[in-house]
Amino acid sequence: MTDLDDLLQRVAVRAASDSEDLPAPIDDAGIAEAEGQLGFALHPLLARLYREVADGGFGPDYRLLPLLGPGSSVVGEYSTRRAASVGVEHPKWPEGVVPILTWGCAMYAGVDCLSDDGQVLLFEPNPYSGGSWDQCWFLDSAGLAAWLETWLSGTGWFEEDAFDGGDLVEPRPWDQAASRLSSGA
């Protein structure tokens, strides 16, 4: 068993213990449909989460969005945000970053499917005061696997009890935000 297999098994156990109504995992055809609509491949670990654990409904706080479907979904949210960012002076959402969950107050966690490790980003638009949106993007975790580990261990910035530990790592500004927003990629 690889480290990722072990991680996915622990995520599946936690997901099942947190929710009795976990949606069924999505099949390969659903992953292919989502990737076709997105125009790029999902990060491999993100695809495995949807294929092997569930079609959303697990994870921190508001829980992962479903991949496809009516209402709020990964593909739907991405499509809406990208459409509003194409051809405008100050794009808000970079290509290849899929929103996987909402934190409320218009904040999202997103996975950068164009990065090798699947960086997890925080979009926090509340301090926006006009102009470029790059100051609203933060690096939450260098990779999706590490982000999942913080959820499993209860040490993420989003965990209320994590503030008491003293070793909390808060998201920091995403140094690629300006270039990724201006390049369209």
| Angle at alpha carbon of residue 69, lines to 180 and 53, rounded to 5° | 80
SS3 4: helix
Asked whether the predicted pLDDT for residue 112 surpasses 90, the reply is: yes
How many angstroms separate the most distant Cα atoms in the chain? 49
pLDDT tens digits along 42-60? 999 999 999 999 999 999 9
Q: The whole model's pTM is what?
A: 0.93
Structure-token pair, residue 129: 């005061």
The CATH number, out of the four listed (3.40.1580.10, 3.30.1220.10, 3.90.1150.10, 3.40.50.261), of the domain defined by the range 3-183: 3.40.1580.10
Q: Place 71 in a pLDDT band, splitting at 50, 70 and 90.
A: confident
Structure-token pair, residue 15: 């997901």
Asked whether the predicted pLDDT for residue 168 surpasses 70, the reply is: no
Pairing of strands 137-141, 120-123: antiparallel
Task: For the chain, give every domain's residue range.
Answer: 3-183
Q: CA–CA separation, 182 vs 173, rounded Å?
A: 16
Asked whether the predicted pLDDT for residue 82 surpasses 60, the reply is: yes
Asked whether the predicted pLDDT for residue 161 surpasses 70, the reply is: no
